Amino acid sequence: MTKNSARTLHLFIAFIVVVLDRWTKHMAAQRIALYAHIQIIPGFFRLTHTENTGAAFSLFADSPAPWKTAMLIGFSVVALIVVSILLWTDNHPHSVTGVGLSLIMGGALGNLWDRLTSGRVVDFLLFYVKRHQWPVFNLADSAIVLGAGLLVLEILFRKTHASDDGVAPDRRQD
């Protein structure tokens, strides 16, 4: 796979994440009243329409600070620039890293879209067990977490190849 075809694939993955995120958020907002829910798996999973004005897991959601939304938008833009640079300069176009970064890019764009258009992010997926629940999230959040997980796995389990930098790995036993 050439660098250009890999870049096209990475942009396509990010595009698909944004399209699916926009569609699922639209469906949730249109079909589920704000703060209402639809039980999917009793005692474990339901669709719940909420709108998050804060960051991930509703951090800063209760803050009245006027700069909150601008800060979150700025952080998203910086993250997108960093991810874009990492994808553009990736020397191994066919890698888990590229897919992970593409998922992060798509998720960040999906949530940024919401913040720019309404100042809040639509969340609708709620997993819970009895009274314990995970914060409500959306498809963009899932893509970001999955992408970050792929990056962690790549870092933890990457095998050093002699052809990567032209130098054979040091195999001495001290």
Cα angle for residues 15, 22, 29 (degrees, 5° grid): 170
The distance from CA 147 to its chain's CA centroid, rounded to whole angstroms, is 6
> What does the buried/exposed string (b/e) look like for 157-169 if buried means 16 or more CB atoms within 10 Å of the residue's CB?
eeeeeeeeeeeee
Catalytic residue among 21, 90, 114, 123: 123
Q: Tell which residue, 116, 126, 113, 127, has the closest CA to residue 50.
A: 126
Catalytic residue check, 123:
yes
Instruction: Choose among 104, 110, 45: nearest CA to 79.
Output: 104
Specify whether the CB–CB gap between 136 and 125 falls below 8 A: yes
Catalytic residue check, 21 = no
| 92, 159 Cβ separation under 8 angstroms | no
Beta-bridged to residue 82, according to DSSP, are none
Among residues 21, 141, 164, 165, the one annotated as catalytic is 141
DSSP 1: -
- Active site (catalytic) residues: 123, 141
